[in-house]
Structure 1
């Protein structure tokens, strides 16, 4: 199984720590990370049979990272669709990985602008 797509932004943890120490509202960071996850959700093009898989894709609300989840009770096969199942000769479509890769530039731009706005709002810039 392939590893999930990860983009590491150097200095992000240090920035988040400084925001916490300054008393900035961490809900702003959660909203920003949700916005970044939503970029990927909107770009994802899962295989469509019933629409249940597409309806299960959602962005999380972490303060330190953007997370995108797919699957659940009505779409238990989301992981198999994305990553495949070699033992059953099921190829993965990598629809979430491709969406994350396609939105990498937009995600970094959104992160940069969002952190800038949070810094301005808290008089830290």
Structure 2
């Protein structure tokens, strides 16, 4: 079961175009492209190394969109946003909690008018991300 999950997770990261690296037993694996990883490095990993890679991916989950961290200070705009969002009640891409200070965790947004980390426009169709507002447990799905 672990082997299936590990392989599926590795392929998901590769297909998504994400790059990662980890160090185990004084061997460094740099996995930057689908072809390189699939044809050479994944085949070279032992089952133990694959398990270590799975644990690494679980510990360093990504909370970003187009290089923008989805936490911090946000300004709502009507034009030229960094991200277009649509509010939904089910099947969101991210669950967001509005906070008044210290928006340090994934999905915690503090609404500001100046010096935002990113700008958001609310749309009703063709969003970049679907957002569900929550009171607890914000984060990516």
**Structure of larger gyration radius:** 2
Q: Which one scores higher on RCO, CA 8 angstroms, separation ≥ 6?
A: 1
- The TM-score, its normalising length taken from structure 2, stands at 0.26
- The TM-score, its normalising length taken from structure 1, stands at 0.28
Higher-strand-fraction structure? 2
